Structure formats: structure tokens, C-alpha cells
Amino acid sequence: MQKQLKTRISIIVLTFFAVVVTIVTSRVTSMARNLEVGRLVLSSSQIAGVLTNIRLILLVAMVLVGKKTGMIISYVLILISTVPMIIQMFFLQKWDGIPGLANTVCSVILIYVTYSFINNINHYNKILHLLSQQDPLTGMHNLTAVRDYIDKRIKAGKEFYISFLYIENFAQLNDMMGRDFGNSVLKSLAGRFIGSTVEGEYGGKNGDSEFVIVIDSSKENKDPVAERLEVDARVKQFIKQVKRPLIIENTEITLEPRAAIVRYPDDGGDINELYRHLDDTIAHYRNQAGAEVSFYDASVTNELTENGKIEDRLFKALSTDEIHLVFQPQYNLRTGKLRGFETLSRLEDEEGKSIRPDKFIQIAEKSNLIFRVDNWVLIHAIKRFKDVVKENPDLVISVNISANHLQKPGYAEFVLRTLKENEFPNKNLEIEITETVFASAIENVKAAMDKLRQNEVKVALDDFGTGYASLSYLSQLPVNLLKIDKSFVDKMHTSCEDMDFIKLIISMGHVLHAEVLAEGVESVEKKEALLEWGCDLVQGYLTGKPMEFEKAVEVIEKEKGSV
Ligand code: C2E
Ligand code: CA
Ligand code: CA
């Protein structure tokens, strides 16, 4: 508004001066005598020439300021001053006005050239602005455009929701099928998005595979609960769009979209705070079953702060050797003999309260500290048991390693080197991996597993039945031991399906020449049923809880004494 006013005032001022100069010019021309300025004697045509040029500058300035309006005013002024000249020439046959007319034609051309030049600049500016607001891959509004839009809404005092919609399995898809394939997926999704937004909604692309939807808070709905339900339903419609199977390069794929939602002004006073809370919500609900659409609330940030504290604690504990190891015994079901121990980690917070292992392991996995934790556990378990296994050559000490670890180049070599340096026999170590290793980078996993197995290190598949392992993977990547997940053992006597599943795993394990261990066995009945179904090994509170190293040595000694 202010800019428009300034432009108008400038045009009026320039027009005024241009009119004055035009009038003075015609007067000077009609005087037809010399003018003395000090010692300088100027003819009237010379003065008129100077004034004509000044007027031209004013007219060009008018076009620059007023664009099309400036050009029209300039042409009107030129026309008004030229008409008497033309009349004189054609009706009074006074041809001395020809140079002036030529001058006028040049002015007309110059004004037009100036106008089309700035018009083009404006056009290119518009294109540049459009490009700077557009995602080059999908053509959707990009990060800057969405932020601008949100900023404008905040400044206008509007209330609205922002939803980040992300694809849980996108990274995996990109890794498996390649970046070009991933790009085609995003382009197809963008098509669905662009066609789906309605009035009061604004869609864009945020990060690599993240979409944003800004939804205006409805004016007529003053009930916050009802409004929230409306937004939830709307975002679920977007999710439904994304979930529709896509066919890319003749491959049908199904995406796993999820969404996080915040409300302005309730969940943040500015765009940065709103975005931070959206990221917190994503981090909190990522990989959580059933959390397809999640609204932000303060507990999300609190928990992340809590997790941050655990991460700091773990980081410190790694350098001060404050991680504590306990060992849970495993027994042979038929003979009742001790097979070995699974190494489990324990961590306490600063006040000495224990932190649940699955919690700090999960945090370690998210922050990549897991590699350090796994290596720490491996080295310390080996050091603790190296003398014990010399006396007990059949004892198996197992350690858990994170699925990502086996994919790291050089991991198998690291394990073998650690064993060698500590003179710990390879055959007494078992590495427990979970089925998630089969989800990606299978070639690296296979190479590491082959190397370990060739060197007599045992490999167990933990939590079997909960993940991705298929028979074809299992036949390619042979393991020594299948550990039936505790969740199946828990439901053993209540669900026939789970009983059948356990029986199936036992026979499958044997076909693959692997032993089968049941985890989490807490009752004699379960132990006996498992024995009857042909299960080989057992681990659970019934036969022994995780225990201190000294206690584990006692168990070993007692076992020897009873033989
Ligand atoms: P996991 O590897 O499946 O370990 C077995 C878990 O089941 C252990 O819990 C163990 O204490 C528990 N358990 C065993 N028998 C019974 C039973 O009869 N009843 C019940 N209720 N529980 C039983 P824990 O020690 O809390 O460990 C939880 C998970 O944390 C482990 O599951 C493993 O995934 C992870 N973890 C623990 N230590 C480490 C470690 O050093 N490295 C890695 N990467 N993960 C670890
Ligand atoms: Ca385990
Ligand atoms: Ca397990």
C-alpha cells in the first residue's frame, strides 16, 4: 500500500516537471532569439534541445517508476506537445519543425524500449521467484514457499494446523531400488497431493521424502475436540491417497505413510518451534505400531529430553566402564546340562536407578552409540570368560549385536581380532543377531556371517518369528541357533496357533541343521511341552535369571560337581 502511494506521488511529481519543461520548451522555441547566460550566448533552438533532452529523461524516469501508466502519460504528453508542431508543418507548410519531429519519434521509440525492457526484467523476476518457491523434482511448493506461507498466516493472526507426512519405508525402498526409482515414487505422490488439496489447505514438499500440509483452522467450528477430529480425518485422507498401491517401472509398491500434526498457536509461537515439535513427534512415534497420525503434545518433548539424558549417561558410562554385565544361563532340554550364558547389559542413571535395557539399547540404536556398546560388551564378556572357557571347553558365551552392526565392513574381522588378542577360542563365542539384518544390505551381512562361521564363531538368530527372515534367506545365511521369541512362548498354552507356530519353527530349525532355543520359559509345563515337541535348548526365569559373573561361575562349578 505504502509502495503504491510512493509510486503515485513520484508519477505526479514527474508529470508536473515534464509539463513545465514542455511548456518552457515551446515558449523558448517560439521566442526565436538568443539568450545570454553570463558570457555564454545560446540560441533558442540550443536551449530547446537541452530542454527536450531533460523532458526525455523525465519521461523515461516516469516509465521506470510507473511502468505501463508511466508510458501512457509520457505518450499523452508527447502527443500534446507534438500536435501543434504537426499542424504547423502540414497546414502552414513550415518545415523547420522536421528535426523536432524526428526527435519526438526517437523519444517514442526510446520510451517503448525502456518499457519492454523493464517488463521483461519483471517477467524474469517472476520466473526466478517461482523457481525459488518450487521443488525441482516434483513441482510442488518447496520448503521456502511453505515457510513463507506459514509466516504470512502467523502475521495475519490466523490459526492453523501443520502436518508433516513422511514415508516410513522410503529410505529402505531407495536403498533397495535405487534413487531414480525413489524419485519416480515422489513424483507420482506429488501428483496425488497437488490434486488433493482444497480451499484452506496448502501442500508442499519439505525434505527428501517429507510432505507438508497446512490446514486452516475452521472458522465455524469453535469446539477444539471436534476440530481436531476433523483435521485427523482430513490427514487420514491424504494418508489413504499415499497408501494406494503405486506401479513404478512395472513394480507395484505399497508405501507406509505417517503423519505428525501441530496446531498454531497452541503448540508453538513461531515457525521454528512448530517445526521442532513436529520433528519431535516424528522421532517419538517412528517405528511405533499403529501410530499413523499423531498429534504433538508436551510429553513428546519431555520424553525426548529424557532420552537425551539416557544417551548422555550411556556415553559417559562407555568411557568410565560403568556398563554392567549380567549373564543368563541356557540349558539343554534333553540332558539338562548347562550350554552357556547370554550376556545382557545393565545401566544405572546418576541416582543409581536402573534403566531398562531395551530402552537404552533402543536409544543407543537411534544415536549410533550402539556400535560402541556392542563392541564394549563383546570385549568385556570375552575378557571375563576367557579363563573360564579354558576350563570348560564346551561353554558357549553369547553376545547380542545390533542388526546394523553386521552390515558394517570389517565387523567380522574385528570380532576375530578381538578373540585372537584375548586368546578366547572362536568356537566358544556366539553372536546373536535379530531378523532385522535381513531387511537390507544382505550382501554385507552374508559376507560377515560366512567369515564368522568359517572361523567357528557361532551365529544365533534372536527373537525369531517377529521379523523379516524367510526360508530363502535362512537357507542362504545359515545360523547355528534359532531363538524362538518370548512372545510366542508367553502365549503357548492360550493359543493353538502359537503352539503350531512353535512346532513349525522347531522342525524348520532342524531342517536347516540349526538348534532351536525357547526364550522366556517361566513354567515347568512349558518346558516339558517344548521338550516333547523336540526343542533343543531353554533359557528363562525357570532355569535361571540373568546373574552376576561370580554367580555364573558358581553355576558352572556346581554343574561340574554334579557330573
Ligand atoms: P533379548 O536379547 O531377547 O534378551 C532376552 C531378554 O529377555 C532379557 O531382557 C532377559 O532378561 C529377558 N528374559 C529372559 N528370560 C526371561 C523370562 O523367563 N521371563 C521374562 N519376563 N524375561 C526373560 P533384558 O536383559 O531386559 O534385555 C532386553 C533386550 O535388550 C534384549 O532382548 C536385547 O535385545 C537388548 N540387550 C540387552 N543387552 C544388550 C547388549 O549388550 N547389546 C545389545 N545389542 N542388545 C542388548
Ligand atoms: Ca538376545
Ligand atoms: Ca530375544
Residue 233: pLDDT over 90: yes
Residue 432: pLDDT over 80: yes
357 lines ligand 1 (CB under 6 A): yes
How much is the pLDDT for 342? 98
- Ligand at shortest distance from the CA of 330: 1
Cα 503 to the center of its chain, rounded Å: 42
Residue 561: pLDDT over 70: yes
CB 52 within 8 A of CB 25: yes
DSSP 3-state helix, strand, coil percentages of the chain (rounded to 5)? 60, 15, 25
Of 435, 431, 429, the C-alpha closest to 448 is: 431
Atom of ligand 1 nearest to the CA of 370: 44
Average pLDDT, rounded, for the chain: 89
How much is the pLDDT for 393? 96
377 lines ligand 1 (CB under 6 A): yes
430 lines ligand 1 (CB under 6 A): no
Which of 400, 429, 461, 488 has most ligand 1 atoms within 8 Å of its beta carbon, as the pocket-test mutant? 400
Q: Which residue lies with its CA nearest to atom 20 of ligand 1?
A: 520
490 lines ligand 1 (CB under 6 A): no
Alpha-carbon span 449 to 455, nearest angstrom: 10
520 lines ligand 1 (CB under 6 A): yes
Reported confidence tier of residue 350, pLDDT bands at 50, 70, 90 = confident
How much is the pLDDT for 38? 72
CB 340 within 8 A of CB 396: yes
> Does the domain formed by 323-344+370-562 have CATH 3.20.20.450?
yes
- Ligand at shortest distance from the CA of 358: 1
How much is the pLDDT for 434? 85
321 lines ligand 1 (CB under 6 A): no
Residue 3: pLDDT over 90: no
Q: Which residue lies with its CA nearest to atom 24 of ligand 1?
A: 357
Cα-to-centroid distance, 526 and ligand 2 (Å): 20
How much is the pLDDT for 529? 95
Q: Looking at the DSSP assignment, which residues form a beta bridge with residue 202?
A: 214
Alpha-carbon span 523 to 137, nearest angstrom: 59
Q: Which residue lies with its CA nearest to atom 13 of ligand 1?
A: 520
403 lines ligand 1 (CB under 6 A): no
Q: Which residue lies with its CA nearest to atom 37 of ligand 1?
A: 344
Q: Which of 38-47, 401-410, 522-531 has the lowest mean pLDDT?
A: 38-47
Reported confidence tier of residue 313, pLDDT bands at 50, 70, 90 = very high
| Domains 143-296 and 323-344+370-562 in one fold | no
Reported confidence tier of residue 178, pLDDT bands at 50, 70, 90 = confident
Q: Which of 93-97, 150-154, 405-409, 504-508 has the lowest mean pLDDT?
A: 93-97
Residue 425: pLDDT over 90: yes
How much is the pLDDT for 163? 97
Average pLDDT over residues 187-213: 88
Residue 44: pLDDT over 90: no
Of 377, 374, 387, the C-alpha closest to 423 is: 387
Which of 344, 365, 370, 415 has most ligand 1 atoms within 8 Å of its beta carbon, as the pocket-test mutant? 344
Contacts 24+ apart (CB under 8 A), 407-413: 407/437, 407/440, 407/441, 407/444, 407/445, 407/448, 408/371, 408/444, 409/444, 411/448, 412/447, 412/448, 412/449, 412/451, 412/452, 413/451
How much is the pLDDT for 475? 77
Residue 99: pLDDT over 90: no
435 lines ligand 1 (CB under 6 A): no
Residues 6 or more apart whose Cβ sits within 8 Å of residue 485? 462, 463, 464, 465, 466, 519
**AA identity, residue 498:** D
Residue 229: pLDDT over 80: yes
Q: Tell me the pLDDT tens digit for each residue of 514-548.
A: 999 999 999 999 999 999 999 999 999 999 999 99
The dihedral formed by the CA atoms of 229, 232, 238 and 242, expressed in degrees to the nearest 10: -130
Residue 100: pLDDT over 80: no
- Residue 269 class from Cβ within 10 Å (0-12 exposed, 13-18 middle, 19+ buried)? exposed
How much is the pLDDT for 439? 65
Q: Is the peptide bond before 409 cis (omega within 30 degrees of 0)?
A: no
Average pLDDT over residues 196-205: 91
How much is the pLDDT for 420? 97
- Ligand at shortest distance from the CA of 465: 3
Reported confidence tier of residue 374, pLDDT bands at 50, 70, 90 = very high
CA torsion sign for 170, 173, 178, 181 is negative
Residue 83: pLDDT over 90: no
Residue 103: pLDDT over 90: no
402 lines ligand 1 (CB under 6 A): yes
Residue 391: pLDDT over 70: yes
Q: Which residue has the higher pLDDT, 460 or 4?
A: 460
Alpha-carbon span 188 to 246, nearest angstrom: 8
Q: Which residue lies with its CA nearest to atom 32 of ligand 1?
A: 358
How much is the pLDDT for 467? 66
469 lines ligand 1 (CB under 6 A): no
Reported confidence tier of residue 441, pLDDT bands at 50, 70, 90 = low
Q: Which of 209-223, 271-285, 461-475 has the lowest mean pLDDT?
A: 461-475
Question: CA-CA distances (angstroms) from residue 386 to 322, 411, 451?
Answer: 21, 21, 22
Q: Tell me the pLDDT tens digit for each residue of 117-165.
A: 988 888 888 888 877 888 888 989 999 999 999 999 999 999 999 999 9
Neighbours of ion ligand 3 (CB under 5 A): 462-463
Atom of ligand 1 nearest to the CA of 402: 44
Q: What is the CA radius of gyration of the chain?
A: 40
Of 162, 171, 367, 175, the C-alpha closest to 279 is: 162
**What class, spelled out in words, does domain 143-296 have in CATH?**
alpha beta
How much is the pLDDT for 264? 95
Atom of ligand 1 nearest to the CA of 323: 41
Q: Tell me the pLDDT tens digit for each residue of 234-277.
A: 999 999 999 998 888 888 888 989 999 999 999 999 999 999 99
Cα 443 to the center of its chain, rounded Å: 26
How much is the pLDDT for 172? 78
163 lines ligand 1 (CB under 6 A): no
329 lines ligand 1 (CB under 6 A): no
How much is the pLDDT for 444? 80
**Cell (9 digits) for 75:** 505518450
Task: Kindly state the percentage of the chain with pLDDT values over 90.
Answer: 53
Which of 398, 415, 435, 486 has most ligand 1 atoms within 8 Å of its beta carbon, as the pocket-test mutant? 486
Reported confidence tier of residue 334, pLDDT bands at 50, 70, 90 = very high
344 lines ligand 1 (CB under 6 A): yes
Residue 219: pLDDT over 70: no
The full set of domain ranges for the chain reads 2-132, 143-296, 323-344+370-562
